[in-house]
Structure 1
Amino acid sequence: MSVPIACTLSEPELRVRLEGITALAQRALLDHELDGPTLRLRYASEVADELERLVEQERECCGFLKFDLVRHPDGVHLAITAPAPVAGCASTLTAHFLGDVSREPTQCSSTCGCNAKGAAT
């Protein structure tokens, strides 16, 4: 059974989640790198527990994305990888993790989860 490429949150739930992710990024994101279909993020160590809870929530609503979270001495490293069918949309699907609220997610294809609600988590 394949996982649908779409966020399962309702519009109100999605807005609340995006606000929380953006606030966390603005408060604790140290650096990032987009490497093809993978967004690599490094957060301050003090938000490790909060980030772990967030990743568990994201795994539930966006099962099509792969989340790898590892604690390191220099911070908490999170890699989010988009699957092959939407790899070209990785930056759109993960934009809110960068904490830039001025970036509006765009729709990238009919198979992308961001089409359904204007954004995907």
Structure 2
Amino acid sequence: MLFLINAVSYQPADQLIGRWQFPSKGSSVDVYRQSGLYFARVAEVDQAGEQNFGLVKDSLLIRNLQYDGELWSKGRLIHPKTGIALNVEIAMVKPNTIAVTVYKGLKLFHRKFEMTRQEKR
């Protein structure tokens, strides 16, 4: 019976939920699901994240990601330092690695980086 309850509540898209570290490993975000959409809130900020990108702890960084069975896309990132709205797409590379693509307008002009899942302490 417990297996059936877990099978009903688990969604493949939920593999994105958790804490993810930026490439520098000093700043991270917590990804969570709300009303079927995925959001990323800044969890930890190092000096480089604050100075270079304007990250602020507990601020909402990514909103409204939708899972299409393969990618999380159609999300928006408001760059904390510039205020520019960017499109976001996330792909699961490995269970503990995601590839994040950020772009404005045409995907041809994008920035792509990998984030790693932070182990629970």
TM over 0.5: no
What is the TM-score normalised by the length of structure 1?
A: 0.31
What is the TM-score normalised by the length of structure 2?
A: 0.31
- Larger RCO (CA within 8 A; separation ≥ 6): 1
Higher Rg = 2
Q: Which has the higher strand share?
A: 2
Q: Which has the higher helix share?
A: 1
